[in-house]
A and B are shown apart, each in its own frame.
Chain A
Amino acid sequence: MNDRPRMISLSEWDDRYKELSDAGLKEPAYGGPLSRHVDDGDLRLRALRFDNSAAALRLWNFLLTEEDRLSAARASGKKLVGTMKDLGTVPVIAYSSPELVAFYPDGAWWIPCVMELGAGLLGIADSLGIDESFCPVRAMLGAFATEAHFPIPDLLICSVGATCDDFSAIAQRLASLGHSIAWWEAPARRKPDPGEESITLPGGFRAAVDQVDFMKSELQRLRRIIEKEAGSKIDDSALCAGIKAANGVRRILAELRLTVFRAAAAPLPALEMLIAEMLAIHFCSDRTESALVLQGLLDEACARQAAGVGVLPVDAVRVFWVNPVADLRVMNLLEKCGGRICGSEFLFSHALDEIPEDLPPMDALARMALADPMIGGAEDRADRVCADIELFGAEALLISRIPGASHCATEGQVIGDRVRSRLGIPVQEIEVPPVSDSLLPTLSTRIEALVETVLQRRKK
């Protein structure tokens, strides 16, 4: 069997799957050939190129079977917590109770891409007055209406305040359709005033102690709501265990990012790295399994790095990526254009940084929640991007605008300006809709321009 790392199509994966199976591949219960997901309507898989490792196969199968896991959890008597917008905070609390499984209905924003608009979710959102002037997360509204993509949660929680207006408005529309939502306030993180008592948050941002205290009181309120749903208390020791388990996942992911982004030849492709990062937010509804999936990827990446092999040429241009893409295919496009991903900021860096374990758990969670890049200023985000670009050695910055997103009108300028002035590397902005096929020539041109600029700079 040829185990040379490479990127393969879905049909090639069928042959590869047979090869791996013949060689004794051991899979979890959700395993199987990737192409079976196309029968479920995940048509976009046909247009993607995947890593050819067993670890990547497991990652994809894990991602694409989440709905089954949620249904199984409900059937087993667990309660489902739908947590919205905070991207990484509330699940740590919910998973501290054995009675609960938390997931993000927000994840429905990829359904139009994965099903190539076949699910009609954006049309349903349109019919509810949430048109294309909103971010693709509006697909969530359609998913609630059809009840076809995830079980309707027993408890819905949504952070508002200093979040994007798109999500807040969509969630309010959801509430108007009869879904009860527990709202909580995410205050706008601000720079501490001169002389004001402040602390450093995970990831390096600073915040006023008053803001941390407020965040703690909001999370404490949520904890009571979640306990009520669980039917049992979540005490501090359970929370500490929950934080420790979340940090376990985060540590593996941090090592994976460092290994892949800093390797001479990319051990794993951009697309698989994007999916891997997403696991940190809510563990894809199975915290233990998500750690195993990530460990598999890390082992594969380490093995490839040790062997000096990768999925891309060593001279691929090292690009730092800002914001998640609505169309997964564009991650492949970067590599087709001669780039590779060397760092990313997908709007949830607070879900990647370790949660302090030497603090009372609610204090630690409050600090983590306040480190959310979305609730702070774009300058904070820009500083974090600069630091990570230097850490991973990226040569260029690609900012991927999210169509319709309220924050994207301003933050690209701020981040781009800061990176140009501080690091002097080229910056390019693109906008990626859920299915970008008709825009691929334009997107290619822009990405190629970025890649060529870097290649020219290397010659100087």
Chain B
Amino acid sequence: MTHPIQREHLVVIGNGMAGCRAVEEILARDPAQYRVTIFGAEPRVNYNRIMLSPLLAGEKSFDDIVINDQAWYDDNAIDLVAGDAVVSIDRAAKTVTARSGRVTLYDKLLIATGSDPFIIPVPGKDLPGVVTFRDMDDVDAMLKAADGGGDAVVIGGGLLGLEAAHGLSLRGMKVTVIHLMPTLMERQLDEAAGWLLKSALEGRGQTILTGADTAEIFGEGKVEGIRLKDGREIPASLVVMAVGIRPSTGLGREAGLAAGRGLHVDDHMVTSDPDILAVGECVEHQGQVYGLVAPLWEMCRALADGLTQRHTGYTGSVTSTKLKVSGIDVFSAGDFSGGEGAEDIVLRDASRGIYKRVIVKDDRIVGAVLYGDTADGNWYFDLLKKQEDIADLRDSLIFGQAFAQGGGALDPNSAVAALSADAEICGCNGVTKGKVVSTIEAGACTLDAVRATCKASASCGSCTGLVETLLAITLGDDYAGERETKTMCKCTSFSHEDVRALILEKQLKAIPQVMQELHWTTPDGCSSCRPALNYYLLCAWPGEHEEDPQSRFVNERMHANIQKDGTYSVVPRMWGGVTNPRELRAIADVVEKYEAPLVKVTGGQRLDIFGIKKEDLPAVWADLNAAGMVSGHAYGKALRTVKTCVGSDWCRFGTQDSTGLGIQAERMTWGSWMPHKFKIAVSGCPRNCAEATIKDFGVICVDSGYELHIGGNGGIKLRGTDLLCKVETEQEALDYCAAFIQLYREEARYLDRTAPWIERVGLDYVKARIVDDATGREALRQRFLFSQSFSQIDPWAERAAGAEKELHQHIAEIRPFAVMETA
């Protein structure tokens, strides 16, 4: 082996994404060819610049985004000179000089200096508080500013600006985005998608000003705001300039290298000096400069091949863009400007906020813009790059790969199997399907192993589902799957618990978004996962949640129980089983007026009116409302009844006011949606006439207070309750009840009653959370009451007042036609 000193010396300027990737590629081909020194202006190791956005948003830490840690430099004997920028190149002497004065000889020099953020030359641009968004120092500056809250202005509504705005707004700043053009991200998105994006961001509390031109940044000694050319002033303690980037070519130009917008390079990334190479955003190849990472991976491969005598050559890149704002899915690729001979295929689904547009020319895809549903982005991009003939797919193209290739929707694996080997799986790390598959074949048979070996899915994680599918396809029966626990349903590889955790972590707020982000393998889920997701979302985001009625089982959609003949039964709430003449009269009237065939006392201490037609429901409810009655939720995965006995007011054995406590409990808990139905009972003494020991939450009153029981079930599998604890006052009984319900709401799987849930997590766990941890109990109770402040609205009253009346009406009547026909 050559002694390190005798090897050729490769000096790299720029410790960024391209510089380090180039070194990795070279080492992978021949670890012994060069002695490597890397100069980096930034005082740190190499990290994933594109992940600065999630870092700013608080979704990642610096450690998470490091690509190569110090150990990598050490292991490969790379001399990292971090925090010392190169200031000049002497081509004749073949040396570089750093700011510190250090002079280094090179045999080969690689310039990978990236880009500089463009600063618009307005007054005030140098004020403290004006930052750009390019490196870790910028993010630190923004985080420091965000600590104090206040107003931020982001100039530039492109990819970078919007990601900065998103991060700052998650960090608690009030953000205004100033964009010169009429629509956001106009280079990547067409007008329709730009508009959808704008309204989505506005919905999240950002102010977006389009067609707005900055005149000046003002402030005494530090930024206080900006003034637009139309005179408007916007206060701000932080101004982020994200208006564009310029290739950083200064060093090369001064050294006399040929340059246009970027440093000129040939197909092997060699500049006009044969010993100097350049790669990344600072180069111009065949008239093109790039501002995204995908081309740079390709450049680095060509460069390493060239240096190690394999002359494959770089041929330019087609790029695609995704916006990294959690919960907003935007994809764009190629040319969407339309023009001569171009034809649009468009799909819009306003209710789901989806917009897809594929631009086709001569039976080839030339561009695609996807908003709201980007699952097929990679597929369109793949067809575009390959210039595949899509004539046969044309009619179904817009519905996506699964649909277009027929039957695929039911088999997620076939869609992934159909991707070509060079289709990109992991955008963050530039890993192709072929690479993932060969990594798996070489022995990486778990997700973690794949992540560790080829880095796919190791950054933002949005391709995890794809990688898992590849594991499944490649390993077949040998793939054990990552997770011990059962998946939610066949539409996903995640368990209930995973999904709930991810909803919180990724701030997922709508079902299509969950399906999008968690890679649901079916287009719109199934009848098992949709109701579960709707529940998980409403539980996670009280107050913000938007109901998805189509994901509710019919009973919860119609607020009544469907019967075998398609009619409905109606059960008004009867608080604690207590009623009065007015209520009884109203029920009697309804039975007569709507000719209900049956009225019956239920096992839950109230009255059930049977045989009501869906058309009559709103009128029935209006009549019941008029007598002060609200929905009994006898149809819901929700609080059902609170059974009580007469208690101390009347009964000779009664120890406490069980009826009163039951009514208080029902008033506190009615309207709450749960993983399954939830029943409460309060008995006045241990004779237990209200059967409290087979309820989800039962109270047995005793002389000295209240015994609280949980996890009972009188249904299919009888289970007596467990004693949770004993408390002394009514208020405590109610507080524990609220806390227990919230724990169940937050942690049980959808369709688990309390009984199986407690059997699974154990009584001790519940005691630890509710009895032993007073602070935690109070927090649970508060969360329950907060959520109740949004859910104690009588759904019947809304319907009786005309809401969603179409659910109760036919779409049309054609009886006259039918009669004519028979005539």
Partners in one complex: no
